Amino acid sequence: MTGNEPTGGDGPEADPAFNAHLKARAAAARDRYGPAIDAAALARLLADREIVRWPTELCFDARPLQEGEFAYPQPLGFHPSDGFCLFVHPHFEQRPDALPLLVAYHIPSINYGSIAEARHAELYGATLLGLDVEVYYRELCALADSMPRR
């Protein structure tokens, strides 16, 4: 085990166990790279295989994004170890203050694949950034609403 594996199974107790695991992993990342995660700390965090399990590169390109989507982690091969390009809407390329909020949301899906749902992404991102989940969610929504429409 690398410490990145969720601790729960598929039973009803799995989600609380997974939530606890996500919070612990996000808190460990915050302890290592925070308390304030800026763009420089985010780059180091993305390169840390104990935090982000698979190689991940930021790519500022809206072409693979759906309308209203601020970012999407595109696998670069068949296996997650091939890495990901985290496509981020170019609207945020000159907004280093926004990048930690946007990227943190996608770390659970990069690390755990399809078992990570929106509520897990919000919990992880909020914990990593030291925010209440509802505050984090509202900030993400405001960022998404700030993007130009096609």
Tens-digit pLDDT profile for residues 122-146 = 999 999 999 999 999 999 999 999 9
Q: How far apart are CA 51 and CA 20, in angstroms?
A: 15
* Structural domain boundaries in the chain: 14-146
pLDDT at position 6 is 44
Strands 84-88 and 56-60, by their bridges, are parallel
Beta strands 71-75; 56-60: pairing state: unpaired
Q: Specify the pTM.
A: 0.88
Q: Report the distance separating Cα 29 and Cα 47, nearest Å.
A: 12
Give the H/E segment covering residue 72: strand 71-75
Percent of the chain with pLDDT over 90: 87
Is residue 47 within 8 A of residue 103, CB to CB? The reply is: no
